């Protein structure tokens, strides 16, 4: 099955939504610079791209997409599930997420699971911050601040 790439533009760069008829495989951060695939996107990719465009325009707060199967540990899946429970416009610390999955001392592992998240924004790893500061983000601090500001959260 051929992987399709749909690009979504934002003021911080071009995001890529990849996938097949089965589901969305990844959301690629702006620094990945992928070329869009020609032709008609499979429905799961088109739906996710449209929802991502709406989110970036400030017109969407939640996502309803079909994810393609991905390799992940049960810990990563637990973390990603906890991320989906963080409401739009709110943040949690790495410690908060670790506590939410009953692993209160696993803050660093939560950060690693965030970094492995194949669906940034849709699975909102940008809503996780450090106790003192913004914390890391695969797309960089500027992109993370942009996403948080889009949700009404200002971080210096």
Residue numbers annotated as active site: 125
Report whether 102 contacts 82 (CB < 8 A): no
Task: List CB contacts of 109: < 8 A, sequence separation 6 or more.
Answer: 75, 79, 98, 103
Q: Please, is 99 exposed, middle or buried when counting C-beta atoms within 10 Å of its C-beta (0-12, 13-18, 19+)?
A: middle
């Amino acid at each position: 099955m051929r992987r399709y790439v749909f690009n979504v533009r934002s003021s911080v760069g071009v995001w890529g939504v990849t996938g097949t008829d089965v589901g969305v495989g990844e959301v690629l951060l702006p620094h990945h610079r992928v070329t869009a695939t020609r032709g008609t996107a499979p429905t799961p990719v088109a739906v996710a791209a449209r929802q991502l465009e709406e989110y970036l325009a400030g017109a969407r707060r939640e996502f309803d997409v079909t994810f393609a199967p991905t390799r992940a540990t049960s810990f990563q899946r637990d973390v990603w599930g906890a991320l989906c429970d963080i409401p739009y416009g709110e943040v949690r610390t790495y410690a908060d997420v670790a506590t939410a999955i009953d692993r209160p001392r696993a803050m660093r592992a939560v950060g690693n699971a965030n970094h492995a998240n194949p669906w940034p924004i849709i699975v909102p790893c940008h809503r996780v911050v450090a106790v003192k500061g913004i914390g890391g983000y695969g797309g960089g601090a500027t992109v993370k601040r942009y996403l948080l500001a889009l949700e009404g959260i200002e971080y210096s």
